[in-house]
Amino acid sequence: MRAGRAQLAERGADKLSLREIARELGVASSAVYRYVSSRDELLTVLLIDSFTSLADAVEASVAGLESSPAERLRTIAESMRAWGLEHPAQWALLYGSPVAGYSAPETTVSSGIRVMRLVAEILAQGSRSASAPGLSAEYEKALRDAIEETGLAMDPSTLAEALVAWMSLVGVISGEVFGQLGAELAAFGQESLDREVRSICQRFGLS
């Protein structure tokens, strides 16, 4: 696992090579293939490992925290940002460009939604206004299916808005992690995230 993480950081997800990992470890390729059978399986293992690491860090940041929903959301967002800045290659694997030819299997879902579930459950505690646009019949059905599968206690409209809020948090953090703010604004990643969290709290009536 350590060798896979190291290669991910050095070369990126699209250039992972089991043969290179074997060479770096000083073992035969067949020894590595006993643990993972292909590059895709290695990617899946790294995905689950990264999702789990992120979720563990976020959950630890709010464990035992007795505060308002808004403060919990702020703490979660700050923990996500800190993890992303500390592990940029793993953040890129989770939320960057898809790896060509790879499709994540269902086994990644449970670890992949842990943080999103935390965010959605906090947002469901708010008093969101009824001004959100309506849902198409197809989207509403898909959301109901997702609610049934995940056990989230919210209606489809709230989940739809929570997904938008989740994607905005990931987007703001990604902008900083991937250096998309430019040299002039690079120092303001935290402030940008704070503004987005406040905006989400206002939309959902969280205090």
May I ask the CATH class of domain 51-204? mainly alpha
Single pTM value for the model: 0.89
* Closest alpha carbon to 119 in 168, 180, 85: 168
Give the CB-side neighbour count of residue 83, counting CA atoms within 13 A: 25
Q: What span, in angstroms and rounded, lies between the C-alpha atoms of 129 and 205?
A: 8
Domain positions in the chain are 51-204
What are the backbone dihedrals phi and psi of residue 189, each rounded to the nearest 5 degrees, phi first? -60, -45
Which tens digits make up the pLDDT trace of 103-139? 999 999 999 999 999 999 999 999 866 566 789 999 9
DSSP string, 52-67: HHHHHHHHHHHTT---
Which tens digits make up the pLDDT trace of 23-66? 666 665 566 656 777 888 889 999 999 999 999 999 999 998 88
